[in-house]
Amino acid sequence: MKSIGVLMTCHMDSYLEQELEKRFNLLRFWTATEKSTFLATHKNSIRAVVGNAFGGADAELIESLPKLEIVASFSVGLDKIDLAKCKEKGIRVTNTPDVLTDDVADLSIGLMLAVLRKLCESDRYVRSDKWKKGDYTLTTKFTGKTVGIIGLGRIGMAVAKRAEAFSCPIHYYSRTEKPETKYKYYPSVVELAANCDILVVACSLTEETRHIIDREVIDALGRKGVLINVGRGRHVDEPELVSALVECRLGGAGLDVFEHEPEVPEELFGLDNVVLLPHVGTGTVETRQAMADLVIGNLEAHFQKKPLLTPVV
Amino acid sequence: MNNISVLMTCPMFPYLEQELETRFNLIKLWNPSSSKPEFFKNYSNFIKAVVGNTKVGADADMIDSLPNLEIVASYSVGLDKIDLDKCKEKGIEVTNTPDVLTNDVADLAIGLALAVLRKICVCDQFVRGGKWIRGDFGLATKFSGKSVGIVGLGRIGSAIAKRAEVFGCPISYHSRSKKPNTNYIYYSNIVDLAANCQILIVACALTEETHHIVDRKVIDALGLKGILINIGRGAHVDEPELVSALVEGRLGGAGLDVFENEPDVPEQLFALKNVVLVPHVGSDTEETSKAMADLVISNLEAYFKGEPLLTPVL
């Protein structure tokens, strides 16, 4: 398979790069000084694209690769892939579900605890020697708070299962009600937000869910409400979120994703009721390796004409 | 009951002070108006109750200097700052605040474990310092599925186990005796527990036996990839040994809510990215502080009305 050209859209993981290089002719798109020349040079050998949450396969890229057969995403989210175009052209698409579910759910709970119990702030308090001058302020209890989840897919369910162990009542919104769960369903995000203490975004990003967290939802969540976003930055109307936090109309936020990563609104840096992470939802050694193995597994299966492991299209 | 004198040992919670002041004649030990010997000379005969906490309790000296002391109501579940033998000897009642703080402390233990393994505080600092623009953060370590070893399977230890289980963490424990009715793996020796888990959590009471229960041997057994979480008492851990193990890279990381000489924290820890340090906040939420205060008040009221104590220790 060493003659098969695989285009990697951006630097994502060293282990994945190594493994791809062993098996294929790996082409690193991010090193190209002139992207269109690069594509023109290699277009006839590129049969696969490996993308991720930052760089996927949009219509333009797909159109410029006439021999493209498969897009294997190093992510579970598919918002950076033009799925309709792939379907139209018979291009296969795979992603990395399940192997990253635990990590993202763990981080959601970690963010909730870090925001409510002000873990990062109190760690800074100790390290700057302030404890000698007085105790830290009281924070807010996590156990028993109502958790509202947007999207009850693999990740949403994993968050729910964990939060339940902290005796958190679970409410949710999703496109359709899931009667097999015992959680309380709300037919709109605003109603969900009005009826929970902690709102977690765990759905996929599509045209319908873009800015699903808007001013109305933020107002409904309110002064004591906390927003946790482990989905995509574009799930949230970021300027509205920032002003709500700065003006104390929202209780707090734990954010792993932002609209224009790696840029993060600087107005958030001075707030003690937010925790800001650099899109590390799946950022563990164990999970990145499992994701990489799945990308490789899917590519090998495709080129060996075997069934794909985790096909989307 | 406004003529009953209650001694509060140090500032702990304004709501508690207010509520005590409404009901009793509250005397504050930290009042700068008199020196300790003078203070005791003036007030000692009147004091019938002491309200202490994790910083200042009721040691032998204090108990001896209060001849009419009848009850010590601790604003904590830990009793290590109270001379229980002396209280028993003198027939002094002791109460604490169990159960109401169990969830908060267990939540913090899990929060610390997640913060250490997933490098949450380091990442937050990375973003706020504007570093993300220059490049991605590195990789952290998965929490789900890691084996958790708990020292002490009492109320708090069990609450930690219940939470960790849902993350797929196999649970093992060490305690004075094996607990019936659990499926968790028991180790009669703490070194064996440390050798067989990835995250070791201290959740037992501090007594003479458990002083420095986490020593060099335990730290070595926990090892390079092991994490220590301490939500018990600073004195559970041989702190200098812990610090050198962390600084020398012989221990994977630590999440610490308590230290041997609070509020002093060894400065060698400040530069480390594999530790999370919080200022003894285990039960410091608005909700729990109020619940603890209400329990202290209720115990005192019950006692002075001749009713059964709510949470007696002796």
Say whether residue A141 is in contact with chain B using an 8 A CB cutoff. Answer: yes
Query: What's the pLDDT score for residue B126?
Result: 98
What separation in angstroms does the CA of A104 have from each of A153, A170, A266, B90?
Answer: 12, 18, 25, 56
Contact criterion met (CB < 8 Å) for B124 and A275: yes
**pLDDT over 80 (residue B39):** no
Closest Cα in chain A, distance from residue B86 (Å): 30
For residues A106 and A1, the model is more confident at: A106
Partner residue opposite A125 with nearest CB, options B119, B120, B279: B279
In this prediction the pTM is 0.96
pLDDT at B40: 74
Hey, what are B15's tokens? 């709501």
How far apart, in Å, are the Cα atoms of B51 and each of B65, B73, B178?
15, 5, 34
| DSSP state at residue B18 | H
pLDDT in tens, A108-122: 999 999 999 999 999
Residues of A in contact with B288 (CB under 8 A): 141
Distance CA B96, CA B71 (A): 11
Segments in chain A forming alpha helices (H): 14-23, 35-42, 59-63, 83-89, 101-116, 119-127, 154-164, 189-194, 215-221, 238-246, 285-303
> Are B265 and B259 within 8 A, CB to CB?
yes
Residue B36 predicted with pLDDT over 80: no
A131–chain B Cβ distance below 8 A for any pair: yes
- What average pLDDT does the segment A136-165 reach? 98
pLDDT-derived band at B35 (thresholds 50, 70, 90) equals low
Contact with chain B for residue A286, Cβ under 8 A? yes
Torsion sign (Cα): B78, B211, B169, A256: positive
Looking at chain A, which residue has its C-alpha nearest residue B112? A119
H helices within chain B, ranges in order? 14-23, 36-43, 60-64, 84-90, 102-117, 120-128, 155-165, 190-195, 216-222, 239-247, 286-304
Residue B218, pLDDT above cutoff 70: yes
Q: How confident is the model at residue B294 (pLDDT cuts 50, 70, 90)?
A: very high
A284 interfaces chain B, CB cutoff of 8 Å: yes
Which distant-in-sequence residues (6+ apart) come within 8 Å of A60 by Cβ?
A: none
Mean pLDDT of A20-48: 96
Q: Is A187 at the interface with chain B, CB within 8 A?
A: no
Residue of A123, A167, A226 to mutate for B, most B C-beta atoms under 10 A: A123
pLDDT tens column, B80-138: 999 999 999 999 999 999 999 999 999 999 999 999 999 999 999 999 999 999 999 99
Average pLDDT, chain A: 97
Q: Which of the residues A171, A232, A235, A288 is marked catalytic?
A: A232
Query: What residues of B act catalytically?
Result: 233, 262, 280
CB atoms within 10 A of CB A109: 29
H or E stretch covering B48 = strand B47-52
Minimal Cα–Cα distance from A273 to chain B, Å?
Answer: 12
Chain B (260-299) residues lying within 8 Å, Cβ to Cβ, of chain A: 262-265, 270, 276-281, 284-289
A306: closest CA of chain B, how far (Å): 31
Tokens of A270: 């001075």
* Structure confidence by residue, pLDDT tens digits, B255-272: 999 999 999 999 999 999
A291, A100 contact by CB (below 8 A): yes
- Is the pLDDT reported for residue A290 higher than 90? yes
A230 touches chain B (CB under 8 A): no
pLDDT at B1: 86
Average pLDDT over residues B238-258: 98
Task: Tokens 């004195």: give the residue.
Answer: B235
Q: Is the pLDDT of residue B32 over 80?
A: no
Q: Can you tell me the mean pLDDT for A269-273?
A: 97
pLDDT for B34 beyond 60: no
Judge contact between A55 and A80, C-beta under 8 A: yes
pLDDT digits (tens, 9 = 90+) for A209-261: 999 999 999 999 999 999 999 999 999 999 999 999 999 999 999 999 999 99
Among the partner residues A124, A142, A275, nearest to B120 by beta-carbon distance: A275
Residue A300 CA to residue A295 CA, distance in Å, equals 9
Res B15: pLDDT: 97
pLDDT in tens, A122-141: 999 999 999 999 999 999 99
Q: What is the pLDDT of residues A170-207, one digit of tens each?
A: 999 999 999 999 999 999 999 999 999 999 999 999 99
In angstroms, what separates the C-alpha of A146 from chain B's closest C-alpha? Answer: 15
Q: What is the rounded distance in angstroms from the CA atom of residue B159 to the CA atom of residue B284? A: 17
CA of B138 to nearest chain A CA: how many angstroms apart?
8
CB contact under 8 Å between A278 and B126, yes or no, is yes
